[in-house]
Each structure stands twice: as structure tokens, then as C-alpha cells.
Structure 1
């Protein structure tokens, strides 16, 4: 009797899920794969689909997101008038997706690798007079975390409000003891979608990959660097972690603060009030045009994928990309190949060493088709290269948290700074070429001769890439 009841319930559940996939599936290939998995793997297929397969764009985590943005400060006339020039369409696209217009009067400072970045971060935190907002995907205990704890205690004693968000999976090793100390000294701290059964269990695959610090609403940091000692000491078996970060002052910093506020609203249900009196305070001698682009699985469209796609398609002379996880979908593959075949100098800079072997196989599985179309690929040999950079035509740069893969486009909450500035682009271009000069370039004639075993591993990695 119980067996019959189980079969009936399971059959009904299967029918409901399959209908849901047919109605709401984002991509036909993925929909078909999930339907086959559900029928091929009884119970297990349904479980995997519920955990990592559902189309979150149809079930928004932040249902009141637009209402929240409506309560935040609106762009002024000067900002709206910045929608012009070569990248007018990209600016409009980003504004419609992320609600942030491009802003002028920003001051930017490029930060390369851990020591330079954390020296700048701690200097800014020491100067805080009102509040500190801090948000990281990975927050690991160690010397950096201890330094932050001591600084937080000092600033709270001065009356500074400190709010912190950490990702429930990315910072899974963060101990209860450390969190208790943060709470005891007065830090308001929340986990983003922690691992637990119930509501958040079904959102296990949707992570907050953003790295944001905002001090007093006017000085901000974002990029690829997490709170981890491996950025200072390296990692056993992998070596030094190399990464790029960005310090921003001006309206773009305020936009990053608004991104933090939306995430704070999700984790705490508290609607923070912007520091209105700071919105008109602009840094002196600054001219960088910046637009913040934030995307997540509950947006209507894959925001960062559309941004990258547009930058690639606008490239005329060169397109240089640094990223550790280049596992693109078909649209970006076609865009990259089309650019290269059209005569654009397309180069990819990827870490030769990998923090995840299977992911590395997947990345390498695209190399042959890239090389065949004329895309140049350089493998950076020193430690692990974790930067997420795009620079093109001495005119536009993207620095942020989003990788070139479906996880960043479909499943993670990400944020990038798009910089429309020639001088800044030239700085990134020079840095990219310097890194290429010490890297190993792959040649198509050599790569196609790789052993059969490597090709098999790459095939396995490609098949498993939707799970990364």
C-alpha cells in the first residue's frame, strides 16, 4: 500500500516538475537535459533539479526590488545627458537592466594584488566617520579577518555603524565563534542564503558573489579580491593569488552602496536610508565616467552576459580579456569568434594553474575552437590569476566580480564597474600586455596535438560545466 502511495505521489510530482520545465525553462537544451535526468535518475533527478536546476528568473528572490530602487535617489539631468557617444546603446542597456545611469566626476584608483588592495581598504576604513558597509563572497578567518575585527571594534567605539553580509556557502568555513565576536562588539552581520533546509535550501545554487566595501557612502571598493590570507601569503600547491580591485570615489561609490542596500534588504528586511547629504559631494579633479552594473538570478535578463556581449560586439581594434573561468555560452562564443574573424585583436589571458581541476578542463575545452578562429590565448604561469577584466579599443574597461560563465550570468549575484575613459583603458591595456609578456602563448598547431587523455578530460569538463 505504501509503495503504491509513493509511486502515485512521485508520478504526480514528476508530471508537475516536467510541466514547469516546459513552461518556464530558460534554454531548450537545458530543459531537455533536465527532463532526461528526471526520468533517468528516479528521485535523484528531481532532487538535483529542485536544488540547482530551477529557473530563478521566474521566481524572484527580491520581489520588491523595483519598489526598493524607486525609493532610492533618482539620476539627475546631468547623468541622463551622459547617454551619448559610441557606447550610448550599452549605457542604455545597463541602465534598463541595473537602474544605474553612467556618472561623471568619479575618481578611480586601480589596485593590483592583495597587499596594495588591503592597504588601501584599511586606510579608507580608518577614515570612516559615519558607517561601513562590507560584503564578500568569501570571508575566511586569518590575519586579515583578525585585523578587521580589531578595526571594527575601534570604529564601533567611535560610534560608527558597521553592517556586514557574507555568502552562506562561499564563507561556509566562517566559525560561529568569529561571528559571535562580531555581534558582541556591535557589528550587524547577516548571511546571504545560508545552507539550511526550508526556503533557502531550494536556493542553494544561487550565491552572492559580490565583493563590496563602501565607507560613508562616498568611498567604495569592488573587484575580484575576497577576504582571505591567500592574497597575501599564497596558497599551498597553487602559489600566490593575483587579482585586480578598484577604489572608487564619487557617484559610482554611491551606486555600489545602493547595490549593498538591496542585498541588505534581502537578508535583513531592513530598508536603509541613503546618506542624502553626500550625494552632491564630488571628488576634486576627477573626470572618469563610470556605470555600475549589478545582476542576479532574479533579474528579468542575464544582465552581465548582455553587458559582456555588447562590449565584445563593439570592439573594432582590440579586445583583451583576463578571467580565470571562461566557460561561455553559445552567444558569447559566436561573438568572440566573429570579432576575431573580423580582424579584431582578441586575446584571452587565463591562469595556467587551476584552483579546480574539473573547471580547468572545462575552460580548456573551448581553446581549440577559439584558437582556430584566430583568438590568441596566453597562460599566466605564476600562481593563480583570478582577475576579471575586459579592456577594448583604449575606450572602455570592465572590472568586477563576474566570470565569463553561466554561473555568473544565471546563478550568482554579481557587480561590475564599466569605465568609459581612455586614460584608464590604456593603463589596463599596458598591464594586460605586461602579463602576456611573461605568459605562455598557446599555438593552434601545438594545441591540437595534445594527448587523447587531455581531450577526454576536457570533454568531461564541458559536459559538467552547467553544474559549475
Structure 2
């Protein structure tokens, strides 16, 4: 019997290997690698045989470096390009010009800018709320005013917020609310994995679509590239679900491939919305173990604040589809929600000149008087973020950051841990989530302000991805977020010590020196 089982296992191994070699994922990676190798070989061989070309490209590299230095890009991005310009000028010049001058990127940028401008009248500022905040809450007023004017998302009252400390808690409430849907369901997610979690959700979606509920699904082309069956969009469309794929991933070198839809939004009937770090995959609700215990968080909104997420979804839907929507059809209809503090559901786009996600975080840090607690799976702060964290810590604010003990990406972990010494020097306390992967993206300050959403503390989230989050001010769920942080600090995390930092392996130190230089491009 044992011999037969062994034979079956041996037969499966070659089949699994063959499937992996000829998979769509492997094909795309190989095609991208071949493009890079082709560009490198062609232009390097030209330089070897034609010395004057080397001089020309070296001169162009110098001019390009000066141009990059004087651009408005983040200093870390400038360094990430200038270093390879010095080392391999010919290859980098060609790659930079190829990536920075593409019609597809300009087209999407223009479409998104136009759509944001056209929908702005539907996201009106509540002057009564702003007048009250101006008089009684000046710090929060300034932040709310910034998000409204720069991001286009107004502050809302009349909104109830529920906090979920784990993905499985959010999932349970999500299923309950989906079952109640009468008019429409909007879903926008970075990752949808065809596992138990999704199968339970899609069963409800198909039932609702059959019953006449409008169901729209939007997922990212990269995030779900290898987790859904081939031509899955058509399969759902044929069953009554309106489905779109954001920026389908193609094996072509293009800057637009960097701009992913990292948002997680669910809107039901315009009256209920979910937001947070939880994607649609079994590990997020701990039905499948990946990287130990998976810690993630989310919030549920009921009331006026849902409208910001509804418009955020429709903006993205129309940019992709080209459709036009009668927005007022999807407004909230429930008006008897208890006024429970204030919320600002907001989005951040990589296609404008506003780093809303980072500046909201910086605003919270600068306004903190007693403490600022941060949870993030990826900690790759730029110089500006390090500066404000250091200022807060040195001015007497208790600054704490939680990162994962078990990472999902080794290279990100190497870079993250390389910042521990910098943070320790600044007076920031760093903790790691024991025995698992902390995917929660949260800020909490002074028992009155909190953010839960999709925005990590790394370059991709802050500069390259479409993101969203919920800012809460004096909502009753703040106490639940504080209790969750306290529980993590006391029972689920260990604080990184000076000895931990000094005991990093030589390999980790060596790799961090290299990877930190190109961190903005990873």
C-alpha cells in the first residue's frame, strides 16, 4: 500500500513541474525577462563595437541625471534611477525613456483627472460640519479641509462605524450584509482568490443577480492574475454579474503596470460599506495558513459616509468602462443613523500630484500629543516620514510601530528590518507580530483619531497604487481599535531590542544595503 502511494506521489511531481513550467505566470515572467535582456544585450553590444555611441549615451545619462535631480519626484525615486544611470548608463537611459514616455499612461492619467473633476459636484462639502470643526476642533478641521480640497472627499457625520480586529470577523458581517442586499452590490478588490471565501461570496452574488440586484465586480489585473481561472470575467458576466478588470497585466514593459488598484471596497445598497486590509482569499480569514496566523482589520460604515466609497467605486468603474452613471440612483437612503463622531472615507491616486495617503498619516503624527500607534505589513519609510516620526518621538510622543515577524516577501522584510536601527535612534519603538503575518494598515492617536484602510508605509502604497482608507474622529469604535492595539502590544507582539538589531545576519545586512537603494522600484 505504502509503495503504491509513493508511486502516485512520484508521478504527480513531474506533472506538477510541467504545469508550473508552462503556466501563464511563468510565461509572463519569462517574456518580461526576455524584454529586459534583449534591451540590455542590444545596446551594450552597440557600445562595445561603436565607442562613440558609448560617449553619446554617457552624455545623455548625465543630462538625464540632472533632469531627474531637478524633477518634482520623491528624492528616493531620484536616487533609485541615478545609481543605475551611473553603473549601466546605456541600458538605464533606454529603459527610462521607454518607461516614462508612454501613451497608455498619459491616457489613463487624463481620463482619471477628467472623471475626478466631473464627479466633484457630487461630493459636496458639508459647510455646517466644517464650520463647527473650524471653531471647536482646529487640528482635525485642517486635516479634513486638506482631504476635501486635495483628495476630493468631504468629512461626513451621521455615520456609524464598526471595527473588526480580524478578517474572519469582517467576513461574517460581510456575508450577513450581502444577504440583505435589495438594490445593488459594488465590490472592488485587489486580490480575489478562487477559494472557500470567494465561493461563499460568489454564490450570494449570483443569487442576488438572478433576483434582479445590480451586481458590479471590479478586481485588479495583477493582484488576481494567478488566483482566478482563465477568462473568469466572461464566466461571471454570462451569469449576470457586471465585471471589469483593472489594468489587465500584460507581458510588456510599461509604467502603467506599476499602478495597481490596491483598494478593498464593498458597498451594499448605498447604506453599508466595508473597507480595510482584507482581500478575498482564504488566508485573510485564517481558513488557510500562510505565514502563520494572519492578522488583518477592517471597518463597516453605515450612513452618510458610505457615499464617499460609492463615488470612489463609480469613478474607477467609469474610467475603465467609459460608461456614464446616474449617480443619484445610488445615494444612501437610510437617514436615522446616530451621529457618531466624524469620518472621512478617502482615496489616493498615483495619477495626480497629491500624496494624500502619506500626508494624512503625517498630519496624524504631527498632531499627536500623547501617542501614535501604527500597524503596517511593509515598512519602507521615505526621508520625510522618518523625519516626522523622529520629531514626534523626540518631542515626547509615544511612537510605536507593529510589523510582521513572519514576512510574505523576504526582500521587503530585509528592507523593513534595516530601518529598525534608524527608528531606534529616533526614539521610535518597533514591535513584531509574533508567530504570524500582520497585514493590518492602521494608525491610532490619542484615543480620538484613527485610520483603517489599504495604505501601507511603503513606496508602492504611498506613490504607485490606487488606495483608500477610512479616517475616524471621535467615533465610538476608537476604543475598540485602542483595545486591539493594547492586546497586540501586551500579548501578541515582542518589542525589537538593541540586541535584536545587532544580531542581524551578515546576509541580511548585505542585502539591505543593495535593496534599500532600489526600494522605490520594488
Alignment size in residue pairs = 464
- Alignment equivalent of 1:221, drawn from 267, 274, 280: 274
The answer to whether the 8 Å contact 1:113/1:242 transfers is yes
Structure in which a larger fraction of residues adopt strand: 1
The verdict on how the C-alpha distance between 1:405 and 1:82 changes in structure 2, with shifts beyond 3 A counting, is farther
Q: Is the 8 A contact 1:234 1:241 kept in 2?
A: no
2:113 aligned counterpart, secondary structure: coil
Matches of residues 64-463 of structure 1 in structure 2 within 5 Å? 64-84=114-134, 85=137, 86-173=139-226, 174-196=228-250, 201-233=254-286, 235-236=288-289, 238-276=291-329, 278-279=331-332, 281-421=334-474, 423-438=476-491, 439-463=493-517
CA contact (8 A) 1:82 1:103 kept: no
CA contact (8 A) 2:408 2:437 kept: yes
Q: CA deviation at 1:409?
A: 1.2
SS at match of 1:208: coil
Shift of 1:165: 0.9
**What SS class does the counterpart of residue 176 from structure 1 fall into?**
coil
Q: Distance in 1 between matches of 2:289 and 2:90?
A: 39
**More deviation in 437-446 or 414-423?**
437-446
Q: CA deviation at 1:444?
A: 2.3
CA contact (8 A) 1:195 1:204 kept: yes
Q: Deviations over 1:318-374 (max 9, x none)?
A: 010011111111111011111111111111111111000000011111111111222
Q: CA offset at residue 72 of structure 1?
A: 2.0
What runs of 5+ residues in structure 2 fail to find an aligned partner?
1-42
Alignment partners' CA distance in 2, 1:13 and 1:141: 51
SS of the residue corresponding to residue 186 of structure 1 reads coil
**Which of 119-128 and 396-405 deviates more?**
119-128
Unaligned runs of 5+ in 1: none
Q: With the length of structure 1 as denominator, give the TM-score of the two structures.
A: 0.90
Aligned CA distance change for structure 1 residues 284 and 27 (closer, same or farther; 3 Å): closer
Partners of 2:330 and 2:319 lie apart in 1 by 25
Higher deviation after alignment, 438-447 or 301-310: 438-447
- Give the structure-2-normalised TM-score: 0.81
The 8 Å contact of residues 404 and 432 in structure 2, kept in 1 or not, is answered as: yes
Using the TM superposition, give the Cα deviation of residue 53 of structure 1 relative to its aligned residue in structure 2, in angstroms.
Answer: 6.5
TM-aligned CA distance change 1:113 to 1:13, over 3 Å: farther
| Compared CA separation, residues 368 and 202, structure 1 to 2 (3 A) | closer
The 3 A distance-change label for structure 1 pair 465 and 267 is: same
| 3-state SS, counterpart of residue 282 of structure 1 | coil
- How far the C-alpha of 1:313 sits from its partner, in A, is 0.5
Query: Match for residue 34 of structure 1?
Result: 81
- Determine the C-alpha separation between the residues in 2 that align with 1:65 and 1:210: 18
Distance in 2 separating the partners of 1:457 and 1:18? 25
Contact kept, 8 Å, 1:322 with 1:389, in 2: the verdict is yes
SS in 2 for 1:384: strand
Residue aligned with 1:164, SS: strand
Alignment partners' CA distance in 2, 1:348 and 1:278: 38
1: CA distance between counterparts of 2:106 and 2:423? Answer: 30
Structure 2 partner of 1:45: 92
Alpha-carbon shift at residue 245 of structure 1 (Å): 0.6
Distance of 2:106 and 2:474 partners within structure 1: 33
Which structure would you say has the larger Rg?
A: 2
Once the 2 structures are TM-superposed, how far is the Cα of residue 19 of structure 1 from its aligned partner?
Answer: 8.2
Q: Deviations over 1:402-459 (max 9, x none)?
A: 0011211110000111000163322211210111112111122552344433322332
Structure having the larger proportion of residues in helix: 2
CA offset at residue 289 of structure 1?
0.7
Q: State the distance in 2 between where 1:45 and 1:390 align.
A: 38
Distance 1:410 1:12, change over 3 A: same
**CA distance in 2 between partners of 1:110 and 1:347 (Å):** 21
Match of 2:112 in 1: 62
Report the Cα distance in structure 2 between the residues aligned to 1:41 and 1:277, rounded to whole angstroms.
53
Query: Can you list the C-alpha shifts for 1:151-202, whole angstroms capped at 9, x where unaligned?
Result: 121111111111111111111112225333211111111111112368x944
Per-residue CA deviations over 1:353-397 (Å, capped at 9, x if unaligned) read 100000001111111111122211111113211000100001100
Asked whether the equivalents of residues 187 and 267 of structure 2 are also in contact (C-alpha less than 8 Å), the reply is yes
Is this contact kept in 1: 2:57–2:89, CA < 8 A?
no
Pair 291,406 (structure 1): closer, same or farther in 2 beyond 3 Å = same
The 3 A distance-change label for structure 1 pair 453 and 23 is closer
CA drift of 1:41 comes to 3.2
CA distance in 2, matches of 1:53, 1:359: 25
- RMSD value, Cα: 3.0
Deviation at 1:88, TM superposition (A): 1.4
| TM-aligned CA distance change 1:267 to 1:319, over 3 Å | same
CA contact (8 A) 1:34 1:53 kept: no
1:258 CA displacement: 0.7
